[in-house]
Structure 1
Amino acid sequence: MRNLILGQTKKERENLFQGQKIYYNLIRRYEFGGFYPGGDDGSHVMTGEGLGAGYNINVPWESGCCGDADYLAVWEHILIPVAKSFCPDLVIVSAGFDAAVGDPLGGCRVSPHGYSVMLSKLMEFAGGKIVMALEGGYNLDSIAKSVQACIEVLLQQGPIPGSLDAYPFESTWRVIQNVREELSPFWPTLAVKLDKNVTIKRAHQSQTFISDSEDEHSGPDVVSEDHDKAIENVLVPLSSLTINPEASDQAITVSSTWRSELRQTEIWYC
C-alpha cells in the first residue's frame, strides 16, 4: 500500500526521510531558513536520502502573505502531478492551520474556502480514504472556521461555496519552478516546463513585518465572539451520523496483525 502524507514537524520528516513507501509533502513559510524553526530542513533541496530520495518534497515560501492562489498553484503544479504518479492507497493530512487568515504567527492568508478546495482535491486519491489530524494554529476563530470547512468537505465530498479571484505571487512561481527542477530527476511529470501564459499571471507582493509594540497588544484578543458557534457547526453534523447495524456482517477477518499490514502500506503524508 502506498501513502501520501502532508506533514509539518521535523521529527516526522526525520522518520520518513529514508523511506520509499511514503511520499511526504510540506508547504511552509521558510524565508530562506530565517523563519521558525530555522535551518535548512525546509529547503527545496532536501528531497530525501537513500531509497527515500525524491519522496520528501518541501515547498518553501520566500515570505509571508501567501494565500489560496499560492497554495492551489502548488497543488496544481507539484503536489497533484506527483500524487498521480505515486498512486497512494491512503492520504494522511497533518492539518496545521497556521497558514489561515488571521493567524498571528503564520502570516499567511489561506481562507476556509481555500482549505476546502485543497482538501476536496486530495479526496480524489486513494478512493477518498483520508485521515486528518489537527496540528497547529494560533487563532481560535481561524481554526474553527477552517476545521468546519474541512469537515464539510469530508461529509459532503465537495468544497464549501466561495471564490478564488487572486493570482499567485511572483515568488510563488519562482519557488514552484525551483522545486519542479530539483525533483524532475525523480518525477518525470515535473520535467515539463510550465506554460509562460500561466506563470505570467502574478499578484503584487507587499512587504510584511512583525511588531512587538505594546500598543498592538493592548486591545482585545483577535478571537471573534462567534467562534463557539463555528465549532458547534462542526459538531452538529457529526452528531447526526448513523451507523448501519448490518455493516458488521461485512467485516473481513485477516490472520496477520495490523503492524504487518502497515509495513506494506504506501502513505502520502501532507
Structure 2
Amino acid sequence: MTQNVVLTLQGVTKRFGGLVAVNAMDFSVQEGQVLGLIGPNGSGKSTTLNLISGALPATSGSIALRGTDITTMPARDITRRGISRTFQLVRLLPSMDVLENVMAGAVFGHRRRWGTDARSYAMGLIDRVGLGGKAHARISQLTYIDTKRVELARVLASDPKLLLLDEWLAGLNPTELEIGIDLIKSLRDDGRTIILVEHVMDAIRSLCDTCVVMSSGTKIAEGPPSSVLTDPEVVRAYLGDDDA
C-alpha cells in the first residue's frame, strides 16, 4: 500500500444549534486504505460523511483532499474532484433502467464520459458488480441487493479517488451479506480508497485496515480492528457500562 494521504480531517466540528453532532474530528485516510468509521447509532458517523461529501457545511475545522482544502466547496465540486458516496437508503432514479442509472454517474462524476463511451463504461461496471444481464431492467424489478449493486456501480462510474460507503451492507440477509462483503473486498483488492460506515463487525474485521470509533460525536479510539474492537471504552460505548 502506498502511503499517500488522500483525505485529512483536522478539528472538524458540526453543530446543529446547541447540539454538537461531530466534535473536533481528526483522522486521515491513506491511498488504497479501507478505513472503518464505526460507533453506536447517533454517534455522528453519517454526519461525518455528509461533511466530507459536502452535503453539510462544517461549523469549524478543515477537510483536505490530496492537500486541497474542500471544506467550503459545494457537493457538486467535491464530486468532480473525486469523492463519491452511497447512502443508508438507496437513492436511484426509478424512471430509468439500470444502465441509465449507472450512466448518470459516468456523465456527472470526476472523470466525465459521454455517449457511447459512457454507455460501454457503464456496461462494464454493471458486470463488475454482478448485474450482468440486467442492464435494461427497471429499478422496480430488482431485488434489494441488486438496487444496492446499481447504486455502487453508479458511484464507481464517477471514477472516485475516495469512495464513501454509508452502511452499504445494511439490511442484507446472510447470503447477500457474504456476497456484499466479497464485492467490497474486490474493490479493496483493486486498490480503491474507501471509508466504510458499518455496524456489521464481521465486515469491519475482514475489510478494514484501520478503524475510527465515534461516540456522541467524538473520536474515542483509532487503530486496527483487532485492537479497537476490544478496547474497553469502545465496548462501553456499544454496550453501556453495566453490560460492558
State TM-score, norm by structure 2.
Answer: 0.32
State TM-score, norm by structure 1.
Answer: 0.29
Q: Which structure's CA Rg is the greater one? A: 1
